[in-house]
Structure 1
């Protein structure tokens, strides 16, 4: 998706499609524990940026709170949101545990987990829905 190491956040072209797919994604720490503190938040962001660099999606914006992270992601049609989420969660959990094992063992003494099973995702559009509705209604 990246072109000449330049992030393009407008319309993208792949094969026979032109698209601009963006979502707001929220990942929450398991049991809403406040784990994104004491350097864990910075390492988590760096890990997710590294995952992005080897994936078919771009992170437009990313910020953490103590128990969750918000991401605005642009992706291409052949990649599903669930695949993006699974990739981010699985890789980041393993890497965060490697770096912060002592801290995380205090919170999860039986399992090596970090994120909840679920996630929040919402598509975001560039146009007002009413504008699109009127455009479609006035065709022909």
Structure 2
């Protein structure tokens, strides 16, 4: 390793890659129902880190409002973010339905806890404007 290299937890090393991939994912329950309560927040703290660990990812932050969940995930490039999010949503919904069936059934009916959509936003080390400025400042050959 280069003597200039300072290892940080935000930068992960593989055999042929050094990477830092973060995504802020926003998901809402089916019909945008405000289903989340304090006991459910506690349950998600048990479930979400384990799901991420199974993918080789790390849950850096996870917060919720009554109608949204906001995980910040640090994930390896071999993981398809859509599969990770799908697994997070699936395991989370299954565990909530098992642990809080009466509460969940008051807000949601049918088989689906989540709609099929979610919003993933990439979170790099630099703002897009800074990256754009850096790319524009590069000199073209010739």
TM-score class normalised by the smaller sequence: 0.7 to 0.9
- Contact kept in structure 2, 1:9 and 1:74, CA below 8 Å: no
Q: Structure 1 41/113 Cα, relative in aligned 2: closer, same or farther at 3 Å?
A: farther
Q: Which has the larger radius of gyration?
A: 2
**Is 1:93 aligned with 2:112?**
no
Deviation at 1:89, TM superposition (A): 1.1
Q: Could you say which residue in structure 2 is the equivalent of 1:126?
A: 125
Q: How does 1:71-110 map to 2 (within 5 A)?
A: 71-109=71-109
Q: Could you say which residue in structure 2 is the equivalent of 1:42?
A: 42
Q: Structure 1 31/130 Cα, relative in aligned 2: closer, same or farther at 3 Å?
A: closer
| Runs of 5+ unmatched residues, structure 2 | 1-7
| Runs of 5+ unmatched residues, structure 1 | 1-7
Deviation at 1:92, TM superposition (A): 1.2
Supply the distance in 1 between the matched residues of 2:12 and 2:29 (Cα, whole angstroms).
32
- Contact kept in structure 2, 1:29 and 1:68, CA below 8 Å: yes
| Count of residue correspondences | 132
Supply the distance in 2 between the matched residues of 1:130 and 1:40 (Cα, whole angstroms).
38
- Contact kept in structure 1, 2:57 and 2:76, CA below 8 Å: yes
> Alpha carbon RMSD of aligned pairs, Å?
1.9
TM-score by length of 2: 0.81
TM-score by length of 1: 0.82
